[in-house]
Amino acid sequence: MLLPWELLILLSLTGCLAERNTRHGPVFTQEPSDSIFPLRSEDNKVFINCKAKGNPVPHYKWKVDGRYIDMDLNYNLVEGNLLINNPHATHHGGVYQCIATNVFGTIISREAKVQFAYLQNFSRKPRNTVSVREGQAVVLLCGPPPHNGEIKYSWVFNGRPSFLLQDTRRFVSQRTGNLYIAKVEASDVGNYTCVVRNMMTNATVYSSPTPVVLRRDAVMGEYEPKIEVQFSETLHVTKGSSVKLECFALGNPVPSITWRRTDGNPLPGKMKINHSNGVLEIPYFRPEDAGVYECVAENSRGKNVAKGQLIFQSVEHLQWVQTLKDAHMAIEANLQWECRASGKPKPVYRWLKNGEPLVLEDRILVEGGRLAVSRINLLDSGMYQCLAENEHGAIYASAELKVVASSPDFSNSPVKKSMLIQRGGEVIMECRPHASPRASISWRRGGEFLKDSTRWTIMEDGTLRISNISESDGGRYTCVARNPFGTSSSTEPTKITVPPLSVDATVGESIVLPCEVCGDSSLDPTFKWFFNGKLIDFNRQDHFEMIGVVCTSGDLMVRNIQLKHSGKYVCMVHTVVDSVSAAAHLIVRGPPGAPEGLIVGEITDSTAQLSWESGPDNHSPVTTYSIQARTPFSIGWQAVRTVPDSVPGQMFHATVIELNPWVDYEFRVVASNNVGVGEPSMQSKQIRTKAAVPDVAPGNVSGGGGRRGELVIQWEPIPEELQSGEEFGYVVAFRPLGTSTWKQTVLASPDASRYTFRNDSIPPLSQFEVKVGVYNNEGEGPSSHVVVVYSAEEEPSEPPSRVWTRTLSASEIEVYWEPITQTEGMQESDAEMVRVTDPAALLSGLKGSTVYLISVRAQNSAGAGPSSPAVNVTTKKPPPSQPPGNIEWNLTNSKIFLSWEHVKAMGNESEVTGYKVSVVSVIEESLKTSEQMLPGGIVGYKSNINLSTLRPRIRLSRSGSSVWSTTQDNGSGPSRRPKTAAPQKGQKEQSAGQAP
């Protein structure tokens, strides 16, 4: 059961009751009918008619084969009629239905089968020669091309301008188109062409000729008739129709054809038999024409009979015996409707509401053509249709149900404003407001409601009766009437003086819907707001706020509007005696919703056809669609090019172009309108474009290097997304510069990036022209630009000369040599080979007191040359490992006197050659260091230093040693070894390779 406020909101949809005589639902005045249209007519357009009356004027939709039609380039609405532009027999034939709608409901028309008459061309393939003996029968097959609509068959003999005449010997079947010759004669030799004409389009097509030749090996003898063309054994014929029976026999001699009825009755005079007796036509078929008919073929060798039964089929077309009438009924009343139709076979019934099957429930009962609805409510309002159908068709009956519902209204039956009564008398005050359903009545005196008492009685019809009147009974009496749609009183009613107005808004905006009232000043109105039938809870819904609330006003503010806020808003004002409401619609415009039903159609190597359905436009029409795609090789979704380049909002298909062949793609569609860009559609199923010949050549082709007798060629591999198909590989071609013949090799690996050709006869640094192409299983693609690449050079043939060495320390040796022309040097040790480009090398990390053999060889890109003769070199002994001991020092004025014990080197250590003294002082917080080398025999040292600025920290070491003796451990700066210079050119070398 609907709540009272829900019913009140629904009540606003029924419109003003005063207009019910003029406003009504749609009624068809013209419906589509079964039609067959010729294709390729002059204007190449087809109209399917549909027209309905109604107030408001109905708007129209169409279905074909049960699917709603999207109006596009092929379909247009002209008022209610459907216009088909450039119709195609396959795409636009089907069962059409018109749908008409206005605010009161929807009705659907009868179904109409629409076909298109067309005739395609014969195949141009030559036909086989038919070889036949004289006296033999022959059947030439026509094999008509695809067609629709009535066609007529004829045959042309030897290209003559006139058609082949039919007689007792020759017959053309209008059922199959075949030509039958009962007995071939010498004059029948020639070319036969089947001619087919479409009777609606008047198009005519000709087959390829069928040659007929005579065999000379024998002549066919006589034989009895053979009926080759005959009619069905059983044929049902409806009243008033025309039926044609075909019968033709082959035989030698040529058979004669006669017709008769098996019941012995003569053929009626209205029957027609053509000149060859091959066709019997019975026009205007009646029940007395039914029976068994025989075709008798006879010659001197015998006879043959074909027969069939014609059965009269009684068909009564569907027609209404009792139809529906519009109903205007009060709420809670009971509805009874019945429709009856006659027809054979007996029809069955279906019921529709607003174009859809009627949904049954406990209070809705359907029994054949009877419909019963108990306790009707506002939701039952609408357009109803009774559908009667049998195997021959369907008919529709339509009617409108208007449920009359209103709140109590005193405007046409006001309560008397004043009454003068004598004391002790009786007063009767009538209260009969108009209300549907009937209102319940109560009375109020001032601010208090009256109750039945010995003197005060409220009668069943709402009349107030007061007996034994006293002076105290004087005052203001108010009749209060209530029903599910509201409350009203006989005093000044509450009225909404400033109602909310329907507005448009954009997502993110804020608006105010006003609601102000006037009425009885003693009543305290209460304001409530409803959104789409639900009471707004201002404590739970952040977007809604009641503002400016005073005794006569309760405005609604909607903040930060979202799409979900579109709908109907109702301001309802309650007082203790009445309630009023006013409604407004808020339309929120936002970016469009996601398109739906994305389908990928025909796919080629570089294109894909897409189609989709529009999503919600959110009250701002879609202006454009854009297509996005992604592949396993792309970073996210990328926009792709389409035809048309910009897809308008009224188009729901496009062709994506410039795709890569043999790549997996997913697509999605994004809609835009004047508000913004919407959400993308669901992505399509993954599809793969078709393979194609690759069209991208390798880049950065180069080469060179390698070993003697090699030609090395390199390139950048083609990415997988550009390989265009399976079995991708490279074709490497090269030829000596100045020659004309290319040598090719195929590399079947898509990842290949290098090819080496080996031939010992190739001279070093020879010039070759080189190009690299691509292929896959679809064919060979383009090649790169031709570049010149050098073959490998020759490795060095001689070693470096004048190799000599110099020992620097126990762990380092310097090596020198005279380089050969245009080579790179190379040096070997026990553990590794060291490449250098200068004619000198420093070997470090060696062992002390160790003999090393050293040789040098040159290397280039072709390889290494011969080694030089080895030279011996011995590293120096390690430095002394012990520091000086017993260091003593004295201060005299500004001088320091140091003394220490002499260090004696061990047997495996080099002799002491001197001592290193370091003096560190800190002056103005900056570190200063002075060092001095002393001869090895000195054991004392004097230094002139200003002691007032000196914090002495003295370290003493042997020359060449890393071990220090320290007088005060306050840190020290790094010591430096003197740099040893390499021998200058022309210096004398020792024969053993030792530096002097």
pLDDT tens-place string over residues 766-776: 999 999 999 99
Top mean-pLDDT range of 705-714, 844-853, 862-871:
705-714
Minimum mean pLDDT among 406-420, 851-865, 898-912, 982-996: which range? 982-996
User: How confident is the model over 313-320, as a mean pLDDT?
Assistant: 84
pLDDT of residue 949: 36
pLDDT of residue 41: 59
pLDDT tens digits, residue range 35-66?
Answer: 888 876 567 888 999 999 999 999 999 999 99
For the domain made up of 503-589, give the CATH fold: Immunoglobulin-like (2.60.40)
Q: Which residue has the higher pLDDT, 10 or 643?
A: 643
Is 316-404 a CATH 1.10.390.10 domain?
no
Position 287 pLDDT exceeds 80: yes
pLDDT of residue 139: 95
Q: How far apart are CA 729 and CA 747, in angstroms?
A: 6
Minimum mean pLDDT among 604-618, 677-691, 734-748, 971-985: which range? 971-985
- pTM score of the predicted model: 0.47
Position 385 pLDDT exceeds 90: yes
Residue 916: band (very low, low, confident or very high) from pLDDT cuts 50, 70, 90: confident
Residue 980: band (very low, low, confident or very high) from pLDDT cuts 50, 70, 90: very low
Second CATH level (architecture) for the domain 24-117: Sandwich (2.60)
Q: Which residue has the higher pLDDT, 961 or 315?
A: 315
Answer whether 718's CB lies under 8 Å from 698's CB: yes
Residue 420: band (very low, low, confident or very high) from pLDDT cuts 50, 70, 90: confident
Minimum mean pLDDT among 110-124, 499-513, 839-853: which range? 839-853
Helices and strands (H and E) in the chain: how many: 2, 92
Position 322 pLDDT exceeds 70: yes
Look-up: residue for tokens 């209205």? 270
pLDDT of residue 365: 94
pLDDT of residue 610: 96
Second CATH level (architecture) for the domain 699-791: Sandwich (2.60)
pLDDT of residue 963: 40
Position 889 pLDDT exceeds 60: yes
For the chain, give the percent of residues with pLDDT over 70: 87
User: How confident is the model over 868-884, as a mean pLDDT?
Assistant: 84
Q: How far apart are CA 372 and CA 865, in angstroms?
A: 112
Residue 472: band (very low, low, confident or very high) from pLDDT cuts 50, 70, 90: confident
User: How confident is the model over 193-198, as a mean pLDDT?
Assistant: 95
Answer whether 905's CB lies under 8 Å from 955's CB: no
User: How confident is the model over 778-801, as a mean pLDDT?
Assistant: 89
Q: Which residue has the higher pLDDT, 488 or 714?
A: 714
Q: How far apart are CA 741 and CA 32, in angstroms?
A: 76
pLDDT of residue 932: 57
Minimum mean pLDDT among 104-108, 122-126, 446-450, 947-951: which range? 947-951
pLDDT of residue 522: 63
Residue 953: band (very low, low, confident or very high) from pLDDT cuts 50, 70, 90: very low
Residue 951: band (very low, low, confident or very high) from pLDDT cuts 50, 70, 90: very low
For the domain made up of 120-220, give the CATH fold: Immunoglobulin-like (2.60.40)
Q: Which residue has the higher pLDDT, 915 or 630?
A: 630
Q: How far apart are CA 409 and CA 768, in angstroms?
A: 107
Beta-strand ranges (E) seen in 551-676 are 553-558, 567-574, 579-589, 596-603, 608-613, 622-630, 638-639, 642-643, 647-648, 653-656, 664-673
Q: Which residue has the higher pLDDT, 459 or 990?
A: 459
At 448, the amino acid letter reads E
Residue 647: band (very low, low, confident or very high) from pLDDT cuts 50, 70, 90: very high
Position 959 pLDDT exceeds 70: no
Minimum mean pLDDT among 297-306, 309-318, 397-406, 759-768: which range? 309-318
Answer whether 601's CB lies under 8 Å from 610's CB: yes
Position 928 pLDDT exceeds 70: no
User: How confident is the model over 792-796, as a mean pLDDT?
Assistant: 82
Residue 550: band (very low, low, confident or very high) from pLDDT cuts 50, 70, 90: low
Position 5 pLDDT exceeds 70: no
Position 141 pLDDT exceeds 90: yes
| CATH pick for 407-497 out of 2.60.40.10, 2.40.128.20, 1.10.3470.10, 3.30.70.1060 | 2.60.40.10
Position 929 pLDDT exceeds 50: no
pLDDT of residue 520: 67
Residue 113: band (very low, low, confident or very high) from pLDDT cuts 50, 70, 90: very high
Residue 198, judged by CB atoms within 10 A of its CB (0-12, 13-18, 19+), counts as buried
pLDDT of residue 518: 82
β pairing state of 440-445 and 45-48: unpaired
Q: How confident is the prediction for the chain on average, in pLDDT?
A: 84
Sequence ranges of the chain with CATH classification 2.60.40.10: 24-117, 120-220, 222-314, 316-404, 407-497, 503-589, 596-688, 699-791
Position 727 pLDDT exceeds 90: yes
What is the sign, positive or negative, of the torsion defined by CA atoms of 528, 531, 533, 534?
Answer: negative
| CATH pick for 222-314 out of 3.30.1360.40, 2.60.40.10, 3.65.10.10, 3.40.80.10 | 2.60.40.10
Phi first, then psi: what are they for 487, rounded to 5°? -130, 140
Q: Give Cβ neighbours of residue 979 (< 8 Å, ≥ 6 apart).
A: none
Residue 565: band (very low, low, confident or very high) from pLDDT cuts 50, 70, 90: very high
User: How confident is the model over 212-225, as a mean pLDDT?
Assistant: 90
User: How confident is the model over 452-474, as a mean pLDDT?
Assistant: 86
CATH code at 596-688: 2.60.40.10
What is the sign, positive or negative, of the torsion defined by CA atoms of 174, 176, 181, 182?
Answer: negative
Q: Is 581 helix (H, G, I), strand (E, B) or coil?
A: strand
